[in-house]
Amino acid sequence: MELKEKMLYVFGALVVLLLIINQQWMTILNPAFILGFIFIREAILNENGKIQAILFVTLLAIGRIVAEYHFQAVFYFEYILIAFFMGCIIYNIYKSSSAKRFRNVTALVVIVALLMASNIYVSAYMESQRVFKDANLQRIVSDAYEDRFIDADIELEEGSSDLERIDHLNITGRTVRSLEGIEHLPSLWELGILGQNRLLDYSELAKLENLKRLTITDPHPDFNLSDLPKLENLEWLTVRQHSLGNQEDEIIELSNFPNLTRLSIDDDLFNESEPLTIDITEAPHLEDLSVYNTTKIVGLEEAENLERISIRGIYNQAEVEQYKDEIRKLRPDIEVR
């Protein structure tokens, strides 16, 4: 065994020791970790390995750029690593003599089966141990904690005092499919779900008893305000960059937000749609209403706390301006913009 190979094994042993000390068991069990060590060994000891190293780094860089910037998704290093090694093995089988191909193909099938089984097991175990079932959401929570508390490590366990310290959170920059587990942030009072989110199920928000402010921007095209659960303590609700014309029956009801004081719904898409009707009868505490493309507000006469109304319209601007004048006559005490 050459000296550089001995040094490589010593280095690998030190890495494993550090992972054990830091209780990073899932990293050690991950097949990508083992494949990575094999890859480094081949790159150091074999000339062909150096060529493969250049190809791998190039593939890694392209994968990261595409995942992070184009799809706004989390980049999974292990998937690129496993795919690259499978490609190398298939290439080597193709280049081998016909006498060895059957044996090599059999070995490849066994390797792939073992990798898939171990990866499925590790992934399932990791998911069962996560406080937040969506890995992207868990990363966002962890990053938010580290940014706020100066790179402090967060303890991601149920009932953790670290999770209780998070009182505001912006879910942005990654594709989050589920909010399951968000109830483990009991102090959360301000939440932003921002930037091309594709959430369809918002029911988990009902578990946030202290949620006061909620902002949703660029939601799924099928999103409706009726998708939001009953949020007893919500005071501010903002929805932006969403086509209001997608609302079922073109009526906005606020029965799920009985303590709402401020509502802002802005359609930056400027879709040409029929004017909406907003029913504020079940939001008696509403003080500030800012909406787009609306020419009928139900319950305006009984809204004793309403102080300001802002209505915007593009395709029906004349109709909107006429309705503003009607509001001024009906409720001269309200500031209309």
Q: Do 89 and 172 fall into the same domain?
A: no
Q: Considering its fold, how many domains does the chain have in total?
A: 2
Residue that wins the pLDDT comparison between 314 and 301: 301
Question: Domain with 207 in it: what CATH number?
Answer: 3.80.10.10
With cut-offs at 50, 70 and 90, classify the pLDDT of residue 270. Answer: very low
**Residue 125 shares a structural domain with residue 143:** no
- For 305, the domain range is 135-336
Q: Are residues 10 and 35 in the same domain?
A: yes
CA neighbor of 214 nearest in space, from 231, 238, 198? 238
Look at residue 221 in the predicted model and tell me its pLDDT: 76
| % of residues, the chain, pLDDT over 90 | 18
Chosen domain end from 129, 158, 176: 129
- Asked whether residue 123 falls in the same domain as residue 139, the answer is no
Of residues 262 and 200, which shows the higher confidence score? 262
117 and 181 assigned to the same domain: no
Q: Which of 129, 150, 169 is the last residue of a domain?
A: 129
Question: Which range is least confidently modeled, 35-39, 118-122, 218-222, 308-312?
Answer: 35-39
Looking at the structure, tell me whether residues 98 and 224 fall in a common domain: no
Say yes or no: 209 and 309 in one domain.
yes
Among 129, 164, 196, the domain boundary falls at: 129
Residues 176 and 309 reside in one and the same domain: yes
